[in-house]
């Protein structure tokens, strides 16, 4: 009958099929494929952070205008994710994932060929828009292939890639920009995306599709407009002025569009986002906690290089700053697999709270650091952020995935991507505003920005304390 949803138990069939064909380890091969695709589409999103002035000179514009080549991709990466997540649930995640890689490759190559600021901003935003399809599909594959009790470890790797790829991109690409130029980075990204596309087409299994259900177009449009306007207002408020017509207009448009979105979803037969999730403890609180902790994590990511570098901070060279900042993704990669094992014993609730307090400790250390601080203090303060998120993010992501139907895993993952991206933009905007007048001789505003981040991360710990851990057999 029209409108009915035929849902085959494909996660069980997929696990059996993989085990029968080449052994259960194929799950991990699929995991590395989707994570590789996720990394190649995400590692250049924040590349311009350390190269903005040079690239602005090359394309004949100002850093103020070129900031949109950084803001645009960040907006796109979070805003269009829910639509891609729903598309994957409806029409299959393999097609969505591979299409995302193909689009990211094309627009990365066009970014390398950009001839002015407008084309660079356009192509970078379109590349991130296409690449954002990979996040929800990657999460859907992981959650469908692994049983609820076994998801924490693979989700640890997923969390590392999503949180660590922008950081690694900046650290690795900054020296390459100095030596071979920024255009070469996007050529490399295009090649990597094509390679990932070929492997994904060969190795990724197809996923079942829902029949008799229409795509929630109006839900996608109203959520996209509302989220984009909110993120634009927050990210550009400091530049435009918080009381300017542009900033206020963005916030008014966001509130209006999101109100319409709620009404649309209440009447939709197959809503883009299931509103009842926000009344579910193990969806609402994990997402809220991750938004708040990502405020500190990504806000610190944008601010720490300014504290360490020239001309406002310690005065370290770009390569020295990169070598110090990389301690955070390294700490994340080391702690996440170990934390996954411990989480299975202590539960997601404790892991979420402890991880959030790791970010609090990191921000407090940065909030007390002075120009005389040595490398060990800087590395410890930076690494604590990676340790904290490495403990909390996989646990809370797994908990949320266990709380929704498997047919909604793509949308749930996209919603999480949107909220963490909102946390990142909020953190970067607020911390930049608080520290705007800081310089080499006046470190107080830098300290104040980190204290704000510590308080927000503390609220993330409180939110994590309200979740309920997944019951496990002794």
Q: Higher pLDDT residue, 394 or 409?
A: 394
pLDDT at residue number 215: 66
Q: Higher pLDDT residue, 397 or 363?
A: 363
Least confident of 76-85, 303-312, 315-324, 370-379: 76-85
- Name the β-bridge partners of 442: 439
pLDDT at residue number 164: 65
| Cα–Cα dist 143/140, whole Å | 5
Q: Are 366 and 304 in contact (CB under 8 A)?
A: yes
pLDDT at residue number 149: 67
How far apart, in Å, are the Cα atoms of 453 and each of 3, 95, 366, 458, 459?
Answer: 47, 39, 10, 8, 10
DSSP 22: H
Helices within 181-317 (DSSP H only): 182-203, 217-240, 245-267, 281-308
Q: Average pLDDT, stretch 177-190?
A: 79
| Cα–Cα dist 127/112, whole Å | 11
Listed residue (84, 52, 82) closest to 65, CA to CA: 52
Look at residue 442 and tell me whether its pLDDT is greater than 80.
no
Q: Is the pTM of this model over 0.85?
A: no
Q: Average pLDDT, stretch 63-85?
A: 72
pLDDT at residue number 288: 92
Q: What is the mean pLDDT of the chain?
A: 79
Least confident of 45-49, 165-169, 179-183: 45-49
What is the percent of the chain where pLDDT is above 70?
Answer: 82
Q: Average pLDDT, stretch 79-90?
A: 72
Look at residue 273 and tell me whether its pLDDT is greater than 90.
no
What is the percent of the chain where pLDDT is above 90?
Answer: 16
Q: Average pLDDT, stretch 104-117?
A: 89
- Over residues 406-420, the pLDDT tens digits come to 666 666 776 777 788
């Amino acid at each position: 009958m029209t409108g009915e949803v035929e849902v085959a138990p494909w996660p069980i069939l997929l696990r059996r099929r993989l085990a029968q064909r080449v052994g259960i380890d194929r799950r991990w091969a699929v995991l590395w494929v989707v994570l590789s695709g996720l990394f190649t589409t995400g590692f250049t999103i924040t590349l311009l952070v350390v190269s903005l002035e040079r690239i602005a000179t090359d394309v004949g514009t100002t850093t103020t205008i070129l900031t949109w080549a950084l803001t645009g991709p960040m907006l796109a990466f979070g805003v269009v994710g829910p639509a891609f997540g729903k598309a994957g649930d409806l029409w299959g995640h393999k097609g969505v994932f591979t299409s995302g890689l193909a689009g990211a490759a094309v627009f990365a190559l066009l970014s390398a060929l950009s001839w002015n600021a407008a084309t660079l901003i356009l192509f970078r935003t379109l590349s991130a828009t296409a690449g954002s399809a990979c996040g929800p599909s990657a999460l859907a594959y992981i959650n469908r292939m692994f049983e609820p009790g076994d998801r924490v470890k693979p989700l640890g790797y997923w969390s590392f890639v999503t949180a660590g790829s922008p950081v690694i991109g900046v650290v690795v690409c900054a020296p390459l920009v100095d030596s071979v130029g920024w255009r070469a980075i996007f050529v490399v990204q295009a090649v990597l995306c094509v390679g990932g596309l070929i492997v994904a087409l060969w190795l990724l299994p197809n996923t079942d599709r829902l029949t008799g259900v229409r795509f929630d177009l109006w839900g996608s449009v109203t959520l996209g407009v509302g989220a984009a306007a909110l993120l634009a207002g927050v990210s550009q408020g400091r530049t435009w002025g918080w009381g300017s017509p542009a900033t206020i207009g963005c916030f008014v448009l966001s509130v209006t569009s999101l109100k319409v979105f709620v009404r649309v979803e209440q009447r939709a037969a197959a809503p883009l986002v299931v509103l009842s999730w926000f009344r579910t403890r193990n969806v609402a609180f994990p997402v809220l906690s991750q938004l708040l902790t990502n405020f500190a994590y990504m806000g610190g990511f944008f601010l720490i290089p300014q504290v360490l570098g020239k001309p406002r901070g310690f005065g370290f060279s770009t390569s020295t700053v990169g070598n110090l900042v990389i301690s955070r993704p390294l700490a994340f990669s080391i702690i996440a697999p170990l934390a996954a094992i411990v989480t299975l014993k202590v539960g997601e609730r404790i892991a979420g709270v402890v991880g959030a307090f790791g970010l609090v400790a990191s921000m407090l250390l940065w909030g007390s650091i002075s120009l005389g601080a040595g490398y060990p203090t800087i590395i410890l303060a930076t690494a604590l952020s990676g340790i904290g998120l490495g403990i909390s993010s996989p646990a809370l992501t797994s908990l949320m995935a266990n709380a929704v139907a498997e047919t909604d895993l793509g949308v749930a993952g996209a919603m999480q991507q949107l909220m963490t991206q909102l946390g990142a933009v909020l953190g970067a905007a607020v911390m930049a505003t608080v520290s705007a007048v800081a310089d080499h001789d006046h470190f107080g505003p830098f300290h104040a920005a980190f204290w704000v981040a510590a308080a927000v991360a503390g609220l993330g710990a409180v939110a994590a304390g309200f979740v309920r851990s997944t019951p496990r057999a002794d």
